[in-house]
């Protein structure tokens, strides 16, 4: 993949409106696009205008998506500024995410794990990513 490409992660949901509200409120995403009955699918594409990634949540009519298959399905965001991290954690709870212990204790050492209404998890890691 060449630099400059955009990555989109797509996840099915049975609770489209609630999930969009949680991720917009908790992570400060913008709704980039929405669609209704696009070949049987409704959905919303979320992201940050200047970031090269999007998250799409889709709901297929007549199909049950169900809950997260495991507690190891994670979105991880690294936040190097401690004040920004603390404020982001408050926003997640205010948006309806539950604070949960991580299935992998690594994420609890410097981060906090949040679970949405379908059991999918988001980790806010306090610190910069060092690869």
Fold entry, domain 7-60:
2,3-Dihydroxybiphenyl 1,2-Dioxygenase; domain 1 (3.10.180)
Tens digit of each residue's pLDDT (9 = 90 or more) over 109-122: 999 999 999 999 99
Give the least confident one: 20-29, 35-44, 45-54, 93-102: 45-54
Nearest to 85 by CA among 112, 109, 63, 106: 112
Please tell me the predicted confidence (pLDDT) of residue 131.
Answer: 76
Predicted TM-score (pTM) of this structure:
0.93
CATH class of domain segment(s) 74-126: alpha beta
Q: How far apart are CA 16 and CA 59, in angstroms?
A: 7
DSSP code at position 119: S
C-beta of residue 93 within 8 angstroms of C-beta of residue 99: yes
DSSP string, 3-48: TT--EEEEEE-S-HHHHHHHHHHHH--EEEEEEEEETTEEEEEEE-
The pLDDT tens digits for 48-105 are 988 999 999 999 999 999 999 999 999 999 999 999 999 999 999 999 999 999 999 9
Q: Say how far apart CA 101 and CA 90 lie, in whole Å.
A: 16
């Amino acid at each position: 993949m060449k630099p400059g490409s955009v990555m989109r992660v797509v996840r099915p949901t049975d609770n489209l409106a609630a999930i969009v509200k949680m991720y917009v409120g908790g992570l400060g995403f913008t709704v980039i696009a929405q669609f209704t009955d696009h070949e049987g699918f409704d959905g919303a594409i979320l992201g940050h205008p200047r970031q090269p990634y999007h998250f799409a949540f889709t709901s297929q009519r007549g199909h049950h998506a169900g809950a997260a298959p495991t507690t190891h399905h994670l979105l991880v965001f690294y936040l190097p500024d401690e004040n920004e991290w603390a404020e982001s954690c408050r926003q997640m709870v205010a948006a309806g995410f539950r604070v949960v212990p991580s299935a992998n204790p690594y994420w609890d050492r410097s981060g906090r794990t949040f679970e949405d209404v379908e059991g999918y998890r988001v980790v806010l890691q306090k610190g910069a990513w060092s690869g």
